[in-house]
Structure 1
Amino acid sequence: MARGTWGAPVQADRSVPGLVVKLGDYPLHHGGVGAIRSLGRLGVPMYAITEDRYTPAAVSRYLRRAFVWPTTGTEEPEWLVEGLLRIGRRIGRPAVLIPTDEEAAVLIAEHQEELATRFLFPRVDGKLPRRLASKQGLHELCVEHGIASPTSSFPQSYDEVERFAERARFPVVAKNREAFERRRQPAVNGTTRIADREGLLRLARGWGDRPGVILQEYLPREDAEDWIVHAYFDADSAPRAMFTGVKVRSWPPHAGMTANAYVVDNPELADIAARFIKQIGFAGVIDLDLRFDRRDGRYKLLDFNPRMGAQFRLFENEAGIDVVRAMHLDLTGRPVPEGEQLAGRRYIVENIDLPALLAYRRSGYTTPHAPARASGTELAWLAGDDPLPFLTMLARFVRPGAKHLYHLWRTNRLGNGRVRP
């Protein structure tokens, strides 16, 4: 049984399983492996939806069963709900749902009544997760509740892009307006930095009659710091576990998934997040990306993921609680032990941190709040008590992964001051 820093065991309800829900084809997902290990180490029976039987998650020693169910995330919701219910019947008892992507989080929220017959999950306004996952929806909520966010525009036509280009201060950032577009026909590949008016108009010609993009002000790296907040909020939107940290490196550089991060205490940021969650009435696990703009001294909310973040295992408190454990304990009626976060703890994603390190050295970017020495390190893949996910990741990553890393780097490089002709 897992224990916190002070030796008290975490008392989870072992009669209630957990089910990791993934919609889409991304087998090398360390967040799902982290959730399986986190609850599995407490003796909670763990199940997961996987692309095949040989993903890292599928071979974890803490996984009782993998349900092989390849999806794209673009299927009809009714079909996906029926598939989840079918898996629930096979598990045979109520299970806590742990979504790892926006598609899964939105599906659960919008079909709560059907899924509640088989599963446990935080109950929310059914429309809220979709709105939070949308760049436009999130920006509107930030404006409504006084939360700082980058200045943004949502052009509805090419003519509006032209008018924006006339008054914009370059560089600007382009992102897909809706999170789900990345799996359909995305207008841009992730976060794209555009250097000038000509580059924007050239790119916009391929966006069609109704551009599905958000155009945002660019926050200069030399004047900004990347912060993250992970937390779990109960049915009253009260924080039961709250954590803050700094992102040291990401892949693709400065715009992608966390590759290296540290736990850093930031009471001001925790208060901003808690007040916003209370105002919008959200319940469940959150993963927030914010950028501190040193030019005006404000934390600007960039992304709101209404689900577990891939790097959630960075954060744990003195009682041994992370956000996934907090959710399972709360939904099963158990107390959630309180404790200070383990400041100085470091998280490394082995397969993407090395290329990220090389890229960041060339850029000269540093994170002022990263401690000189870590108080402890959590690796995303390698674990002495569960080695097979790491070995499986290596086997699947080495050849196709190298090609994929090059593609991500190339895309990011083209987006930073260059646009495809």
Structure 2
Amino acid sequence: MSNRDTLFTADRTVPALIVKIGNYPLHHGGVGAIRSLGRLGVPMYAITEDRWTPAAHSRYLRRAFAWPTTGREDPDALVEGLLRIGRRIGRPTVLVPTDDEAAVLIAERHKELAGPFLFPSVAPELPRRLASKRGLHELCVEHGVPSPASAFPDTYEEVEDFARHARFPVVVKNREAFVRRRRPAVHGTTRVRGAAHLLALARGWGARPGVVLQEYLPREEAEDWIVHAYFDENAAPLAMFTGVKVRSWPPHAGMTATAYAVGNQELALLAEQFVKRIGFSGIVDLDLRFDRRDGRYKLLDFNPRMGAQFRLFESAAGVDVVRAQHLHLTGRAVPEGEQRAGRRYVVENIDLPALLAYRRSGYTTPHAPARPSGTELAWLARDDPRPFFTMLARFVRPGAEHLYQLWRSSRRAIAE
């Protein structure tokens, strides 16, 4: 949607900065945020790995700050780096984190960052807790929100005990927000079919496994849903969207490859009530799985920041969650409006292998509309084509090898 089609105007005197921590240059969410606000005339800046990061080539980006990070840096160094960038921009700037590490850093070091930057006010400890599998599970139990049955073993012996009594298959995930860029026990979500496979994996996890062992919700009896929203300082939703995930990569357990905007009042109410109880403010990206066996939505992930597929969702007034945040933090009203139903979102570089995998499995999503009302591509945009071609140039060989390794890993997990 162009700026001419919106029912509001943004404050063009307040820029925005895309903040990322870690090495993941092919991130379409950052490109989407640059385009979304840039089309409104908001001056856009971004932290990038290098000058060949696709986001650095968007026509809507005023300047890219090449700052390669790993997630292992001392928080003091990260804060100083952000403050240095803030001084270069030279005026108060809205921060848009694209990963949990950045969201946690901003919340925990809000006192140092509050001068040159604008961001939602949230309890400093809350984003880290939400990004942690254990912390999220505890909050779900505390507030009566359904979530998959989970175990958090602290020793190999506890894994052995779990294996003796567990109902397989189970899902293994890293427990804390930051481990994926340090020494992760597993790469992404790993499905484990039997005790022997679990114990073989656990032997490589060291003295403290650092994983969550979670109930597996079979895809034949489940549906993957997503909620994206923006909440104000009173935890009231200023923008709320729901949708259904059709394909992901790796299959059934990874990043969204294709999704549709589908209204779901029950799901929206569940998300609103949970966020109100915990007192969160800002953008949220929630993953939930509807378990047809008991008719409940179970919260899998709570990302306390913008999700990569946020551009799936837009209201009739032209609002998405990133625009809602910028409007709110600059003192402007966020116009109300129903979400545009039936919109489709496709991530071009991962959807083709996902499509082939899903066709082989025969899996379909019953709530996906027969025809989309419109399609938003993650990378290719008529008014901003360079990120797409930069992505292709960077993706072709290493990206294909990475997809192949993910596919082999998922096939091994299923075969065990």
Provide TM-score, normalisation by structure 1: 0.98
8 A contact 1:193–1:417 mirrored in 2: no
What is the correspondence of 1:238-249 to structure 2 with a 5 Å cutoff? Answer: 238-249=236-247
Residue in structure 1 matched with residue 330 of structure 2 by the alignment: 332
**For residue 228 of structure 1, what is the amino acid of its counterpart?**
I
Which deviates further from its counterpart, 87-96 or 7-16?
A: 7-16
The CA deviation at 1:210 is 1.2
Residue in structure 2 matched with residue 229 of structure 1 by the alignment: 227
Q: Report % sequence identity.
A: 77
The CA deviation at 1:179 is 2.1
Question: 1: distance between equivalents of 2:397 and 2:385?
Answer: 20
The CA deviation at 1:299 is 0.2
**For residue 140 of structure 1, what is the amino acid of its counterpart?**
E
Residue in structure 1 matched with residue 2 of structure 2 by the alignment: 2
The CA deviation at 1:400 is 1.2
8 A contact 1:3–1:319 mirrored in 2: no
**For residue 83 of structure 2, what is the amino acid of its counterpart?**
L
**For residue 355 of structure 2, what is the amino acid of its counterpart?**
L
Q: Secondary structure at the match of 1:179?
A: coil
List, as ranges, runs of 4+ consecutive aligned residues in structure 1 with deviation greater than 6 Å. none
8 A contact 2:49–2:67 mirrored in 1: yes
Q: Secondary structure at the match of 1:13?
A: coil
Question: 1: distance between equivalents of 2:177 and 2:109?
Answer: 19
1:345 matched to 2:343? The reply is yes
1:76 matched to 2:70? The reply is no
Residue in structure 2 matched with residue 109 of structure 1 by the alignment: 107
The CA deviation at 1:3 is 4.7
8 A contact 1:50–1:68 mirrored in 2: yes
Residue in structure 1 matched with residue 375 of structure 2 by the alignment: 377
Q: Secondary structure at the match of 2:17?
A: strand
What is the correspondence of 1:48-87 to structure 2 with a 5 Å cutoff? Answer: 48-87=46-85
The CA deviation at 1:10 is 2.4
Residue in structure 2 matched with residue 286 of structure 1 by the alignment: 284
Residue in structure 2 matched with residue 310 of structure 1 by the alignment: 308
8 A contact 2:148–2:214 mirrored in 1: yes
**For residue 189 of structure 1, what is the amino acid of its counterpart?**
H
Question: 1: distance between equivalents of 2:52 and 2:306?
Answer: 23
8 A contact 2:248–2:256 mirrored in 1: yes
**For residue 190 of structure 2, what is the amino acid of its counterpart?**
T
1:304-344: per-residue Cα shift (whole Å, max 9, x none)? 10000000000000000000000000000000011000010
Q: 1:142 aligns with which of 130, 140, 143?
A: 140
Question: 2: distance between equivalents of 1:255 and 1:221?
Answer: 10
5+ residue gaps, structure 1: none
**For residue 218 of structure 1, what is the amino acid of its counterpart?**
Y
**For residue 229 of structure 1, what is the amino acid of its counterpart?**
V
Question: 1: distance between equivalents of 2:45 and 2:107?
Answer: 20
**For residue 160 of structure 1, what is the amino acid of its counterpart?**
E
Q: 1:12 aligns with which of 5, 10, 13?
A: 10
1:191 matched to 2:170? The reply is no
What is the correspondence of 1:381-392 to structure 2 with a 5 Å cutoff? Answer: 381-392=379-390
5+ residue gaps, structure 2: none
> Judging changes above 3 Å, is the alpha-carbon distance between structure 1 residues 8 and 309 closer, same or farther for their aligned structure 2 residues?
closer
Provide TM-score, normalisation by structure 2: 0.99
1:23 matched to 2:21? The reply is yes
Residue in structure 2 matched with residue 412 of structure 1 by the alignment: 410
8 A contact 1:10–1:42 mirrored in 2: no
The CA deviation at 1:162 is 1.1
For the aligned residue pairs, the C-alpha RMSD in angstroms reads 1.0
Residue in structure 1 matched with residue 156 of structure 2 by the alignment: 158
